[in-house]
Amino acid sequence: MKRLLLFLSAAAISSAATGNWGTYLGDSAGSQFSPLRQITPQNVAGLEVAWTYRAGGLDGKNRTQIQCNPLVIDGVLYGTTPDLQLFALDAATGAERWRFDPAAIPGMTKVGVNRGLATWTDGPARRILYANSNWLHAIDAATGRRIPGFGREGSINLKDGLGRDVSKLSLQVTTPGIVYRDLIVMGMRLGEGPGPAAPGHIRAFDVRTGAMVWRFNTIPSPGEPGYETWPPDAHKYIGGVNVWAGFALDEKRGLVFCPTGSAAFDFWGGNRIGQNLYANCLIALDATTGRRVWHFQFVRHDLWDRDLPSPPDLLTVTHGGQRIDAVAQTTKSGHVFVFNRETGEPLFPVEDIPVPKSDIPGESAWSSQPQPLKPAPFARQLFTHAEITRRTPEAHRAVLETYAMLRPHLPFMPPSRAGTIILPGFDGGAEWGGAATDPDGILYVNANEMAWILTLVDAKASAPGGPVSGAGLFTQICAACHGLEGKGNAAQNIPPLENVGQRLKLPEVLTLLQTGKGVMPSFAFLSEAQRTAVAGHLFGLEPVVDPRNAPAANAPAANDVTRKQELDDGGDALGRIPYTITGYNRWLDPEGYPAIKPPWGTLNAIDLNTGEYRWSVPLGEWPELAAKGVPRTGTENYGGPAVTAGGVIFIAASRDEHLRAFDRRTGRELWKAKLPAAGYATPAIYSVGDRQYVVIACGGGKIGARSGDAYVAFALPK
């Protein structure tokens, strides 16, 4: 019993007595709730900057970000820099104590973003479990040094132990794992495009040694439940079905709740016809063994990139006069599903709605999808003529012209060559910042109200057995992000590739394709000849590749060879997905404002006891529109809210670079403060001594915003 007490959760650590924010998003339940009461609706307007920490690590090109929700434990804050270094600060002053840079270790890379950290303690010894790229490190919390007994010299390679060779495929950890006793349960971010992708199996590792203890196969192997929902041997070539958004943990029951993403390729599933368990599922696993207890699938045979975007929330609600321990899951589509935590039974009715068929050759969209009858969606579901912007007559006319050329919008309208409206867009609805909950059973969630346009294009790199062109390879692996013409996407932090030769030399481009950088994944699965062909295309050359120089197949052919042949004969995996997309395209008017009427971003309070809304308000504004007298429109937003027992909700998230405070009961905005850069992260709330703090990472860098390197802490005057 004494030893068990040493493994008490960070939720217990984050008590009112200690004032800690000891787990990612506040506690293992994912509540984003603080029991601190010093800051109230009556005094929040008196908040002032207590300290600012400049982390460094900017790239000078406004492409870096900080999405970290830091930990604060016993007066020490642990966070990450824009270039993925780990640091510790005095949480009362912002003074740095130590820093760990994985780039100083031979062979380590720093690709992607970091949203937070995990921690474990055994008596006085504490370790920070921190990931960059595909590496998980155990760091001594006192010194900032790796702990040698964990894995190899303090690190483990998360590409190992997935059941097939993924050494050349993209794998990053953006959101931290969750600790249960002496295990850390890990998810990861994987490739989602037409190229090969790693499988997203959920794994638990011993926090002392780094050894893998269990693995749950999210793409089932023969003999495992769910195998029949895929084509034969899909586990050998399909990727994705990964937990990238984070976990929630019921320590009393020993259950870990795992929200999964879609299978790769995101937008065409002709090589994975079927229901595709356990993609797009909330899975309750026994945290000790990895055994499945129950699951619920939100999207069957996903064709819309409808990953579950945020950690689940564990809370207690009253239904039918009974107190029920529940788990709530928010979705990109703007819905909240609420389940009995033990059984998976929905607490509000869920109905299957019929959805349109696909007209894309080789595709077979699932005929129906589940929707909850309560609560009502927290984002609009239909883009009709009436929803077109009327900001100016010119904007209305331009959007109307595009609208007339697209497929009429319905929920779950399949991807098409004509162009399909996605509303809410690929970034939600809900997004990775997570929802907050309070002890009264109220859920607070911010939403994006943005329409995007999805367009499929033919993307064969070559005819079967024929030469592969650099242009064809570019279409397959680059166009989804950079666009067919290489114009980039500033809103997604993706630079243009036009005139790349004026900025980079050919060897530098070849290296980037091999290693990746920032938000760009590695394309190491390409052969040297293929990388040369892609780079040559960017420099105005058109080399071709003999397919015999390509890597072994990781994906099946479209419909032109049998699955057995493609698994046996090798060949180029890139030639086997017949479609790609023209890009992740927000639908904007000619001046860069959303094509849909406001609000463009909201903050919502939903009573999960009744399924009714308490309130909904716009979140953020466009300063130039406000100056013209346009009412607060809300903005696209990233990062979640944190709620306090004192009655205040804190959230940054909006593109206008402010941290705001709202009244928890009414939704009234009480206070806001300008930040050095946009706070695309979830705040942490903690106390040191008798002073309560709210800290936010100000990294900017998304949706065209300037990048920043600051953490800013606010408190009431001493």
Residues in the chain, pLDDT under 50? 1-16, 462-465, 548, 550-572
Tell me how far apart the alpha carbons of residues 133 and 80 are, in angstroms, rounded to a whole number. Answer: 13
637 touches 668 (CB < 8 A): no
User: In this structure, what token pair is assigned to residue 592?
Assistant: 């860069």
434 touches 311 (CB < 8 A): yes
How many CA atoms within 13 Å lie on the side-chain side of 168? 15
**DSSP E strand boundaries for 101-176:** 118-122, 125-132, 135-140, 155-157, 171-172
Radius of gyration of the chain (CA): 24
Tell me how far apart the alpha carbons of residues 631 and 627 are, in angstroms, rounded to a whole number. Answer: 10
499 touches 453 (CB < 8 A): no
- Condensed to tens digits (0 to 9), the pLDDT of residues 331-359 reads 999 999 999 999 999 999 999 999 999 99
Q: Where in the chain is the domain with CATH 1.10.760.10?
A: 460-576
DSSP structural state of residue 142:
T
Provide the pLDDT for residue 511.
79
Q: Is 488 exposed, middle or buried (0-12, 13-18, 19+ CB in 10 A)?
A: middle
Count of CB atoms within 10 A of residue 712's CB?
Answer: 24
Provide the pLDDT for residue 663.
98
Going by C-beta distance under 8 Å and a sequence separation of 6 or more, which residues neighbour residue 2? none
16 touches 35 (CB < 8 A): yes
Provide the pLDDT for residue 13.
41
Provide the pLDDT for residue 558.
40
User: In this structure, what token pair is assigned to residue 365?
Assistant: 């969209």
Q: Is 65 exposed, middle or buried (0-12, 13-18, 19+ CB in 10 A)?
A: buried
β-pair partners for 90: 76
Count of CB atoms within 10 A of residue 467's CB?
Answer: 14
pTM of the model: 0.91
Count of CB atoms within 10 A of residue 612's CB?
Answer: 11
DSSP string, 225-277: TTGGGS-TTGGGT-EE----S--EEETTTTEEEEE--PEESSS--TTS-S--T
Strands 601-607 and 456-458: unpaired
Count of CB atoms within 10 A of residue 222's CB?
Answer: 9
Provide the pLDDT for residue 491.
67
DSSP structural state of residue 596:
B
Nearest Cα to Cα of residue 109 among 85, 129, 133, 84? 133
Q: 460-576 sits in which CATH class?
A: mainly alpha
Nearest Cα to Cα of residue 130 among 170, 192, 88? 88
